[in-house]
Amino acid sequence: MESLSLLFLLSAGLLVWRKPEKESLAFRLVITSIILMIGLFLLATRGSILPGLNY
């Protein structure tokens, strides 16, 4: 999933570089990537705060 987020960021950068008129699509890709990164971080750290049976 992390590679999908990096692919979104790479494609947004290439899109702005090659076709600046598609800036709104690139912005949506960056926002999608940020939301994906936040979601993955929350899923990864959810169990590490109070691990099960280890109080």
Whole-number Å distance between alpha carbons of 33 and 41: 12
Give me the pLDDT at residue 15, please: 94
- Domain-embedded: residue 24: yes
- Domain-embedded: residue 8: yes
Give me the pLDDT at residue 49, please: 64
- Domain-embedded: residue 53: no
Give me the pLDDT at residue 34, please: 94
| Count of domains observed in the chain | 1
- Domain-embedded: residue 28: yes
Give me the pLDDT at residue 52, please: 53
**Per-residue CA distances from 36 to 11, 29, 52 (Å):** 15, 10, 25
Whole-number Å distance between alpha carbons of 28 and 9: 10
- Domain-embedded: residue 18: yes
In degrees and rounded to multiples of 5, residue 34 shows phi and psi of -65, -45
| pLDDT 10s digits, 2-53 | 898 999 999 999 999 999 999 999 999 999 999 999 998 888 777 776 665 5
| Domain hosting residue 10, numbered range | 2-43
- Domain-embedded: residue 49: no
Give me the pLDDT at residue 9, please: 93
- Domain-embedded: residue 48: no
| pLDDT 10s digits, 4-18 | 899 999 999 999 999
- Domain-embedded: residue 50: no
